[in-house]
Amino acid sequence: MNRRALYVSITAAAMACSLAACNTAQPHTATPSSEVNEPTATISTTATGVDTAPQIASGEPTPNPTAVTTTTQPAAPYGSGHGLCFDLNSRLAKDSMESLGVDSNGGQWQVDGASNHPLSGGCGLDWLKVDGSGFGDATYTSRVLLFQGGAFVGTVEPHEYSYTSIAGDTLESVTVKYRWLRSDDPFCCPQGGPTTVTASVSNGSIVRDGQFPPPVK
């Protein structure tokens, strides 16, 4: 056999072996797209009937929405206004003054001052001081009216006194200071006293602690 014949024989054998190897390989089968595993979403329903956000099975669950809590502010009492628990220009103030009638000399009651507790700080006991117009000198008389829960409770003193002033107040009480004329005192300058009375309200009744001026002789 010459060299050319030998080369052709070897080449033919190699080609036959290659074809045999290809025929024994397993064919590749593509997986249908419908069989590909995709992440699934789960929808859950809360007790309130509101669907939460979808949760991916392979991921972390989405937290439920946080409940919002609302608070209700207490209603402002009757007679309040201008940001205060008690407004001295209110209808409550006017009606309460009129309920006193006239002063001891037939004059009208006029507003001198009132508590100024702000609504933002909470409300409790409020007061209104009124002065009578029946006397034309420094001996004019006064009353201190008390209010709680938007209602007129009564007056600190059992009857009107001259030389009356407010010594201090809180949300629970008011302290009233009194002076009086001695036998030789001029009207401008009373030397009697002073004495104080602290008034509060318990179960709708006025509680007084202190001493009122002595009876006029």
pTM for the predicted model, two decimal places: 0.67
Is the omega angle on the peptide bond into residue 194 within 30 degrees of 0, that is, cis?
A: yes
Query: Domains of the chain: which residue ranges?
Result: 91-210
Q: Model confidence over 153-201: pLDDT tens digits?
A: 999 999 999 999 999 999 999 999 999 999 999 999 999 999 999 999 9
> Which residue did the predictor score with more confidence, 123 or 61?
123
What pLDDT shows up at residue 68? 60
Helix (H) or strand (E) holding 152: strand 151-155
Give the lowest-confidence range in 38-47, 78-87, 103-112, 161-170: 38-47
Q: Model confidence over 13-59: pLDDT tens digits?
A: 445 444 444 444 444 444 444 444 444 444 444 444 444 444 545 55
What pLDDT shows up at residue 185? 95
